[in-house]
Amino acid sequence: MERKIIKTSDGSYSVYLPEWDENYHSRHGAIQEAYHVFIKHGLDLFPDHSKVRILEMGFGTGLNCMITYLEAKKRNLTIDYLGLEGFPLEPELIWELNHLDQLGAENFKDDYKKLIASSWEIPIDLNGKFKLLKQELMFADFTGKSVSDLIYFDAFGARVQPELWTEEIFKKMYEALDANGVLVTYSAKGSVRRAMQAVGFTVERLPGPPGKREMLRGIKAQK
């Protein structure tokens, strides 16, 4: 499938798929969206110095992972990060993006290279407190139970991949979370909210990132 690099409104680059007319990030700002959805309304719920197990559904360009790495260093978090991706991007393409410059993180170039170029299925330890495992796996094939505290649900939109936004998939996400675990996603579609509620999530509508009125956050209640 053809992939093109585009510039989003906050100056950061993203990847565009002409065949689907779909972007890997919001055209209104790739970095702004990542911080708003996954950090502000996800990672920031966890206190400094804590350990957080993160499951990312849709590893994509690794932007969410790199931002999480930078935030973890600031807040002395210990992170176990599992990124799932059905169709991995080539590291050479990711390296053409300007994320590191836009994040002001040029000092972490070596860690960024490890993050995007590390082999799939082989865990790495970036700094003693950030462990990463990337798995080439379709969402429907994931079977983990109670393996995460926080899920970044960053799949392509329901317009192009509706099968990723079903009750079946969100049931897997619910089971993957520990009690009181959190799932955040940029989507605010009513069908997505209902699918999340149907499998047990308590769902909140929250203000969305630039270009979107709302987003969703689901909590798995303590049993």
CB 70 within 8 A of CB 122: no
Q: Which helix (H) or strand (E) is 130 found in, with range? A: strand 130-136
Domain membership of residue 2 (yes or no) is no
Domain membership of residue 4 (yes or no) is no
Could you tell me the pLDDT band of residue 60, with boundaries at 50, 70 and 90? very high
- Report residue 68 CA to chain centroid gap: 9
Whether the pLDDT of residue 223 is over 70: the answer is: no
Whether the pLDDT of residue 65 is over 80: the answer is: yes
pLDDT at 27: 87
Q: Which helix (H) or strand (E) is 4 found in, with range? A: strand 4-7
Q: What pLDDT, in 10s, does the model give residues 24-48?
A: 988 888 999 999 999 999 999 999 9
For the domain that residue 188 is a member of, what is the CATH number? 3.40.50.150
* Low-confidence winner among 81-85, 154-158, 193-197, 198-202 (lowest mean pLDDT): 154-158
Domain membership of residue 18 (yes or no) is no
Number of domains comprising the chain: 1
CA angle in degrees (0–180, nearest 5) for 45-130-37: 35
Give the three-class secondary structure for 104. Answer: coil
Domain membership of residue 134 (yes or no) is yes
pLDDT at 93: 94
Domain membership of residue 144 (yes or no) is yes
Domain boundaries, position 131: 29-219
- C-beta neighbour count of 83 within 10 angstroms: 25
Mean pLDDT of the chain: 95
Rg (CA), the chain: 16
pLDDT at 221: 84
Domain membership of residue 12 (yes or no) is no
Whether the pLDDT of residue 175 is over 90: the answer is: yes
Whether the pLDDT of residue 58 is over 80: the answer is: yes
Whether the pLDDT of residue 20 is over 90: the answer is: no
Q: What pLDDT, in 10s, does the model give residues 92-106?
A: 999 999 999 999 999
Domain membership of residue 24 (yes or no) is no
Question: What amino acid occupies position 189?
Answer: K
pLDDT at 91: 94
Q: To which residue do tokens 């960053």 refer?
A: 154
Q: What pLDDT, in 10s, does the model give residues 80-131?
A: 999 999 999 999 999 999 999 999 999 999 999 999 999 999 999 999 999 9
